[in-house]
Every structure is written in structure tokens, then in C-alpha cells.
Amino acid sequence: MAEGYAKATGRAGVVLVTSGPGMTNIVTGLADAYMDSVPLVAFTGQVSTNLIGNDAFQEADNIGISRPCTKHNVLVKDVGELARTIKEAFYIATTGRPGPVLVDIPKDVSTDKADFKYPEKVNLRGYNPTYEGNKYQIKQAAEEIKKARRPVIYAGGGAVFSDAASEIRELAEIAQVPVTMTLMGLGSFPGTHALCMGMLGMHGGYWSNMAMHHADLLIAIGARFDDRVTGKLSDFCPEAKVVHVDIDPTSIKKNVHAHIPIVGDVKAVLKQLNVYLRAMDGNQSDLKELRRPWREQIEEWKRTHPLRYEQGDKVTKPQFVIDRVFEMTHHEGIVVTDVGQHQMWAAQYYKGSKPRTFITSGGLGTMGFGLPAALGAQKAYPDKLVLCITSEGSFQMNLQELATAAIYKLPVKVVLIHNNFHGMVRQWQDLFYEGRYASSQLGNVPDFVKLAEAYGLLGLSASKPAEVEPVIREGLKHRGPVLMDFHVDPFENCYPMIPAGGAHHEMLLEDPPELRNADRGALAKKKDKDKVEEGEGVLPA
């Protein structure tokens, strides 16, 4: 919830938990926030200072446990230091590359008293983030942008955190450079803009991945070149010079060599870069003409291999549900997703125009993220539409938060893509493991409509394509929290897909013939039967 609040607002989320299991229960959230650079401050309870190290009741090494998954952590031993420590915690969490900070407070410190002295400023020796980029390197980047014939802007989560959407748009329009975004960068550039290529990477568009592979200049903005984006590193952007802008110097050159590294705040650097570009010889029409063949090539890739699905009148396709949700909401509101196929389809079909309106778990890929994060975003913006796109695998990991939605009257609209599988796992098992469905078929799940009603929420269900739009319409009209359960094709796969070890130009675009022409459910059962006949050990049903 604190992550959802922080990602939606840009302000620090706050977590308060008890000692022992209270602390260990937030480790996943801390790790998720750390990977995605989310500003959080977590206050954890601790046993009294005289009991630390004695295996006291509900004692845990909160500092040791949280060290690998926080930007900073501290154990407060003196109540006189508490106010200053809190001030520093929020400063560290929200400056530089944002991240979670943990403040561990022993019981005797929390009940002690001191004069309240809250410092106006924070001055930490050894922690001085660089905000202004090197002017020579920025000018060098501008020169490379001016002469490039096949440039691409690659925007990551840092573009959102820095509130640099207007600067990215200005850069793209001045220099006539197409823009692609990571999963965390969605919203940093308008999805309907003529220069927008949508998401890149493992399930990115064919055209955006091909553009990356053939680019001669890559302008990376607030991105860390993670493996889901780069694919095979040795074949990543083989013809491109790389300009890398990031406030975190450890992210630059970590995975991909940067020919022009620029350490600084994305917003501040792009403002200066745009000034240099405007001051250089030439004008926008010259650049338009220079880049015309490149834009035409990208449009050709988009025409020949668009995102597509075939919706009949019998079985509902998951893409159809997500597509209709976004069309019927006019791509407005805040979209929060869980993790899996539905997450990728949401990223593909959501063409939002504003930052902080697409919220998801990126680096850690945490199932169960969606519902509580949506509640946090809804708490931050009680009058906005908040959609939680999820599936029954992720949803069941935190479904008890329906109680929170009911108690606090948070009108989140849950869109549940019900496919009877851990869909992404099943997709990999189909493509690379000969359809051996190990622990991916969910089997008996609750009646989600009855479950929603048990919590006092409105529950709706659609099992046929014709029922999809009426359910969406009724769910959106309802003033309170709603769960909409959409039964979809269990064997639909998410494409395009860069297989593990593949490069950007080595995408799978559709099911191979053996999957298109097979009854996969029957095939899986036959393979299980064959295992038994061959004497392989299997667990009884």
C-alpha cells in the first residue's frame, strides 16, 4: 500500500510495523521498493535495548535482515536522536535515487521522552547526490543527437520519478526522436503521440525492439538496462552509441557501456540538453527530413507486425477484456497491475498520457502487489478511478485486503483475468518444456463473486465475450469497491516475446504450429499418463 501511495504521488510512503514477524513480513515490500527505486520510510518495532541479542520474545535482527534491501537503515538507541534520525530518513528516501529507508525503534526508546528538536536541514557527510550534469558531456550528447540518423530515446522509471515527462516530450519533438519506455517508464511519454513506440523488451512491441536493434544512437534516460529490456547483452544495440543519463552513478556502465555517461537528475540534465539542441545550427524541419526514412521504417514494422488478437463469439480473449477496459475508461485513471501475463497485456494496450498512472512491480516482479498497491493509490487520490488488473494467481496472495477496501470504503475496481493458470509459467512450459504443466494449473479456486460479496463488495462475472462490456459498464458505474471476474481463454499466450538468451530482433510473434494445432489440455494429460506408464514417479492426485 505504501508503494502504491508513493508511486502515485511521488511522496514517501510510510510503513509502521511491530517487531519480529511485523518486520519479516515487510521484507518483500522493502525489496520490491528497493528494486523499483520507491521512496519509503519503514518504522519497525524492536525489543528493549537491554534485551537485544538475547533472543527475546518477537526479537529479530531488523538491521541485518533489511540491509540488502534498503537504501539505508538505522537502529535508534537514544530518544534524543530520534527526531534527527527521522528527518534524515525522509531526506535519504526521497533524494538522489529514491529508495526505502528503515528506522528500527526499541521499545524503551519509543516510551522514553526528550526535548523535540527537528532540524531544518540535513547535512550528511558522504551523501551528496549529483543533480546537475557535466556541461561538456551534455553538449557532446546534443552533438550526437543532431547528426544521428536512427536515434531512439529509451526512458525508464527514473524519468517518472524525476517528473521529467515534459522535458522528454520537448527533447523528442525538438530532435524528432522516437521514444520507447520500460515497464517502469510507462507514462513518461504520451502513449498516443506520433513519436511513441510504447514498451520495449521481453514483451515489448515488435517495432520498438527492432528500432532498438537497428538504432545508431541510444539516449537512455533514467534506465538501468535490466535483462528484461536488453535481452542478449552481446547483441544489444550493436550499431548504437549510448548516451546514458542517470542520477545513480553505479547504474551507468554497470550492464551496458555508455559512450557519453551523464550523472545527474534526469529533469535537470534534459533541460540543459534541450537548451543546447535549440541553440545549435539547423531547425526542426531539417531534422524531420533527416529522420524521415527512420520513422517510415518504424511505421512499416508497426504495420507488418502490430499487436493483435482474434476475438470470436465463444471464448473471451484476455487482451479483449483489457482493451475494452481501457477504451471504456478513455485511458483515464490510475492503473495498478499484479505480475504475469495480464501485467504485460496491460502494458501493451494501455496508452496513458500521464506519469504516475501506470503502477506495477517491475524489478522484483512480486505477485500479490496489485490489490494493496491499488488501495494505497486510491487512498492518495480518493476521487480518481483506480483499476487493479490482476489474475487469480496473484490475487489470492493478498485477497484478504478486500477487507481493507471495504472497511475504508476505497472504491478500487478489480479486473480479474481468470485463466485457471499461472499464465506466464504455463506459457513457458508450453514453449520450452513440451507442455509439462508443473504447479502452474490452479485447479479449484474460490467463487470470486461470492468472495467479494462475503467482504461486502459488489461482485460481477463474465464468462462470454458478449458479457464483457456490460460487466465493465456496471462495475465502473458502482461507487464502491468492485470485483469483476472475467473468465478467459486459459491457453492464450502473450506475444511478442523475446525468449531467454535471445536478442531484440529474435522475437517469437505467435504460437508455433505444434501449439496452434493441438489440444493442449488433452496433450498435457496424455504426457502425464505416459510418465506413469514409463515408471516415472508422480504424486497421486
Q: Tens of pLDDT along 333-379?
A: 999 999 999 999 999 999 888 999 999 999 999 999 999 999 999 99
The percentage of the chain sitting over the pLDDT mark of 70, rounded to a whole number, equals 95
Topology (CATH) of 135-304: Rossmann fold (3.40.50)
> What is the C-alpha to C-alpha distance for residues 360 and 373, in angstroms, rounded to an integer?
8
What's the first-to-final CA gap in the chain, in angstroms?
A: 38
| pLDDT range class, residue 406, cuts 50, 70, 90 | very high
Q: Which CATH class, in words, describes the domain spanning 318-491?
A: alpha beta
pLDDT over 90 (residue 34): yes
Averaged pLDDT for residues 402-418: 98
pLDDT over 80 (residue 176): yes
Provide the pLDDT for residue 344: 98
> What is the C-alpha to C-alpha distance for residues 344 and 340, in angstroms, rounded to an integer?
7
Provide the pLDDT for residue 515: 85
Provide the pLDDT for residue 329: 95
Model confidence, pTM: 0.93
> What is the C-alpha to C-alpha distance for residues 297 and 182, in angstroms, rounded to an integer?
21
* 436-482 pLDDT tens trace: 999 999 988 999 999 999 999 999 999 999 999 999 999 999 999 99
- Answer with the residue of higher pLDDT: 535 or 459: 459
pLDDT over 70 (residue 294): yes
72-75 and 241-246 strand pairing: unpaired
Q: For residue 12, give the DSSP letter.
A: P
Provide the pLDDT for residue 521: 60
pLDDT over 80 (residue 516): no
Give span(s): CATH 3.40.50.1220, the chain: 135-304
Provide the pLDDT for residue 531: 45
Provide the pLDDT for residue 536: 43
Averaged pLDDT for residues 209-227: 97
Provide the pLDDT for residue 513: 87
What pairs with residue 482 in β-bridges? 413, 458
Give span(s): CATH 3.40.50.970, the chain: 2-111, 318-491
| pLDDT range class, residue 535, cuts 50, 70, 90 | very low
Q: How many CB atoms lie within 10 A of CB 480?
A: 14
451: Cα separation from own chain's centroid: 28
> What is the C-alpha to C-alpha distance for residues 173 and 270, in angstroms, rounded to an integer?
13
pLDDT over 80 (residue 505): yes
Which three three-digit cell numbers place residue 514? 505444434
Tell me which CATH homologous superfamily contains domain 2-111.
Answer: Thiamin diphosphate (ThDP)-binding fold, Pyr/PP domains (3.40.50.970)
Quote the mean pLDDT of the chain: 94
State whether residue 87 is helix, strand or coil.
helix
Averaged pLDDT for residues 131-148: 96
Averaged pLDDT for residues 290-294: 94
